[in-house]
Chains A and B, each alone.
Chain A
Amino acid sequence: MSSTDKSNMRTPLSKVRGLGSAKDGTSHFWRTRLTALANIPLALFFIYFIASVAGKSYEDALAFIGNPFVAVTLLLFIISGVYHMKLGMQMIIEDYVSGEKSKILSLMLNVFFASAVGLACVFSIFKISFGA
């Protein structure tokens, strides 16, 4: 990989930057791992949450989410989880959707879906927590 190697088309600057042709280097890989690690304890809590609220009455469910510890942990799971699932679905789309138009459309829909899910959950938890 010396600079005299004529078969290598990459400039010294591009090698130093290490961002590759997609221009974002290892950020997708890294963020997937970062959110995955965060999701381990958070998802375990979420499973505890599901099992606890299953069959609870309206008042009991409200009171459960009204607990700040429950609300904040649930919010963390939603933020980390929604980001992780956006990254994952992006990878699935990039792997299987080959048409340029349908690929870009799917990638956009992925961002819209993840954003809507994230915001709807966060808004609902805020509304329940602040008791409006």
Chain B
Amino acid sequence: MAPKKTQRPLSPHLSVYKFPLTMMLSMIHRITGAALYFGTALLVWWLIALASGGEAFATVTWFMGTPIGLLIMVGYTWALFHHMVGGIKHFLWDFGKAFELDTVELVAKLATAIPIILTILVWAVGLGMA
């Protein structure tokens, strides 16, 4: 490391760019991946409680029924759908397909909309059954 910092021109950084949808999706793919990672702690809590007995299970069921619990479950479902659809998009790219600019845009729009629609469908049915 040089002791004195020389003033050099910096390359244009994040702030000068417009946020294109494809870039947003790339970031959200990683963020949903990390969220799903830590979200597994909830699955562990739920399964261990179910294996432990009725009292422990009642606590988890209570938490999942609170507005925060429901928000987490709906959010988790959306993150899973989003990461899955994003993954399918990556499979297309792995095979060298869908790289044309207009196709990329179309796929990006679909990859944004489909997970939201699927999440609403699942919870409309899921909460309807409960």
Contact = CB atoms under 8 A, between A and B. Distances in A.
Interface in B40-96: 40-41, 43-44, 47-48, 50-51, 54, 57-58, 61, 64-65, 73, 76-77, 80-81, 84, 87-88, 90-91, 94
Interface residues of A, number: 33
A124 B50 CA distance: 8
B125 A51 contact: yes
Contacts of B123: 51
Interface in A50-108: 50-52, 54-55, 58, 61-62, 65, 81-82, 85, 88-89, 92
Interface of B: 30, 33-34, 36-37, 40-41, 43-44, 47-48, 50-51, 54, 57-58, 61, 64-65, 73, 76-77, 80-81, 84, 87-88, 90-91, 94, 122-123, 125-127, 129-130
Interface of A: 33, 36-37, 39-40, 43-44, 46-47, 50-52, 54-55, 58, 61-62, 65, 81-82, 85, 88-89, 92, 116-117, 120-121, 123-125, 127-128
